[in-house]
Structure 1
Amino acid sequence: MISAVAVATLALVLAGCGGSGSEPAAAKDDVLKVGVSPVPHGEILKFVKDKLAPAAGLELDIVEFTDYVQPNVQLQEGQLGANYFQHRPYLADFLKSKGGKEMTFVQAVHLEPLGLYSKKVKSVGELADGATVAVPNDATNLGRGLKLLEDNGVIKLKPGVGTAATERDVAENPKNLQFKPLEAAQLPRSLEDVDAAVINGNYALEAELKPASDALVLEKAADNPYANGLVVLKGQEGDPRVKKLAELLAGPEVKKFIEDTYQGSVISATS
């Protein structure tokens, strides 16, 4: 018969073994899961994960998304620790329109210049009267796309609307362009069916378009508010993993990777 002392001793031993076995799970909790768009965000973050994070003691889990909604939804639900796919105006519009837990923009990383592309014409001037132009259907990128057309003399918007513009804010449309709002991810595929399309930089790259050379007109980087960056739930800015990642993303190695890899089609947002 086992004595009470022996039972207690055995229990302590087993508890110690159990504690040892749970250590990997605790370590797994130190992994920062980050939601990204595949290109260029996923490529940039994979560079950080493979080349920079190990030396910084940071472990990353990269989760790719093909839309602009789920990365924020899953961050709010706690399925992600951070995301990296959006700019400040999009984040502000998402929180205003969809609500949920507050999120904070931590670190700007890069700009993907918005461009106008076409398989039917070689210049903006060649767009015919009544031509169809596909544009992003989310509020911030729609206004941004219309502003791109205005900046290049294609249309004129009502005074003061800026990047909040919609099709209803087009004051002058000399070519009688027909605007076709589509989800941003569908815009590259629409090039077969429309005369031109305003396409977000990441989706242009995924479609093997080269913004620096293929776009009829391209957004300027100077004073541009649309830099994409790292976002976390409000209050998580001080998480050591987030601080490490923000520091790496703002570092010279990432800037050089962006310059060497994208040759002006993606522009570093850090000095």
Structure 2
Amino acid sequence: MINIRSGTRVLSLILGVIFLLTACTVSNNSPSNVKSNETTDREKIILSCVAFNYDEVNNPVAKEKMNELGYDVEVVVLEDATTMNEAVLNGDINASLHQHKPWMDAYNKSKDKDVFMLTPYIHYNVFGMYSDKYKTVEELPDGATLTIPQDSSNMARALLLLEQQGLIKLQEGVAIPTTLDIIENPKNLVFNEIHVHQVVSSLPDVDAICCAKMFMVSNNISLDKEICTSDDLEDFGVGFVINPDRKNEPWVDALIKAYTSDGMRDEINNIFKGCYVPGF
């Protein structure tokens, strides 16, 4: 025979367990937990840059806007544009920001690739001539040695700058000139052609160098060494580079909106001290 008092205790225990289970279910569906789940629903976007423009790509102004639009941004620093392009094409990253359009076009042509640059551009790279020894173009002596980048797009930019300054004359109609296209060299300039990232280090050893202003700023070299700058900014826009197969994905529009705001224009001007000019 079952003792009534004992049975009542058992029933109370059962009801207590049911109450606890119900409370846990309600707690797991509380507003705070639902909000947490919504947060993890944001898509992750991986962007790359070089160390110099990390503060631009990882900028809180742009990243907060990306969050509002439904994306979490992770930024990775890679060594150079070639590595970035390979990562974009392989799907390891969504987009990169470093190379200018002519460099990307030369890469695509030489590698038979098709990486794609988004517009509007995020910034333009200022390019100039710099010297430890001379203050003006006119002071450069006969037989002066100039270091210029050896890659096709930056070499062309250097030679076009020298032509603008009246130091050389190039063959007409050549879109991407090399030193072989120089038809007049009245000062008998000697050209030292090296990798673009090594140009600045040669500054003490030559009469002048030609390079993007960003290399001077990133190496903490005084800008009073600037002799002149080029007037070709609009031909050398820098935009996010992506795999062309992804250009219609929703995150692409969000990326452009986030990085071309009025706030980002102010950030670019503040961070780069004139070596980058906003492109929007």
Q: TM-score range by the shorter chain?
A: 0.7 to 0.9
Of 53, 57, 67, 1:45 maps to 57
In 1, Cα distance between the equivalents of 2:228 and 2:149? 16
Structure number with bigger Rg? 2
Give deviations 1:46-82, integer Å, cap 9, x for gaps: 2145554333332222122332311112212222111
Change (3 A) 1:99 1:247: same
Q: CA deviation at 1:249?
A: 1.5
Contact 2:156/2:178, CA 8 A, preserved across alignment: yes
Contact 1:110/1:267, CA 8 A, preserved across alignment: yes
In 2, Cα distance between the equivalents of 1:205 and 1:236? 34
Matched, 1:92 2:92: no
RMSD: 2.3
**4+ residue runs of structure 1 moved beyond 4 angstroms?**
48-51
Matched, 1:185 2:206: no
Name the residue aligned to 2:174: 161
Q: CA deviation at 1:178?
A: 0.8
Matched, 1:216 2:247: no
Contact 1:46/1:62, CA 8 A, preserved across alignment: yes
- 1:81 maps to amino acid: N
- 1:176 maps to amino acid: N
In 1, Cα distance between the equivalents of 2:41 and 2:190? 52
Of 80, 83, 95, 2:93 maps to 80
Contact 2:170/2:184, CA 8 A, preserved across alignment: yes
Q: CA deviation at 1:83?
A: 0.9
Matches within 5 A, 1:18-29: none
Name the residue aligned to 2:270: 260
Q: CA deviation at 1:252?
A: 1.2
In 1, Cα distance between the equivalents of 2:51 and 2:238? 13
State TM-score, norm by structure 1: 0.81
In 2, Cα distance between the equivalents of 1:204 and 1:92? 25
In 1, Cα distance between the equivalents of 2:85 and 2:41? 22
Contact 1:184/1:203, CA 8 A, preserved across alignment: no
Change (3 A) 1:253 1:141: same
Q: CA deviation at 1:180?
A: 1.1
Change (3 A) 1:182 1:249: same
Matches within 5 A, 1:1-271: 30-39=43-52, 41-47=53-59, 48-100=61-113, 102-107=114-119, 108-162=121-175, 164-209=176-221, 214-220=225-231, 224-270=234-280
In 2, Cα distance between the equivalents of 1:216 and 1:168? 25
**Identity within the alignment, %:** 26
SS at match of 2:204: coil
Give deviations 1:157-194, integer Å, cap 9, x for gaps: 111114x0000011111111111111111111111221
Q: Mark the runs of 5 or more structure 1 residues left unpaired by the alignment.
A: 1-22
State TM-score, norm by structure 2: 0.79
In 1, Cα distance between the equivalents of 2:144 and 2:125? 26
Contact 2:127/2:211, CA 8 A, preserved across alignment: yes
SS at match of 1:238: coil
Contact 1:66/1:185, CA 8 A, preserved across alignment: no
Q: Mark the runs of 5 or more structure 2 residues left unpaired by the alignment.
A: 1-35
In 1, Cα distance between the equivalents of 2:275 and 2:67? 28
Q: Number of residues paired by the alignment? A: 241
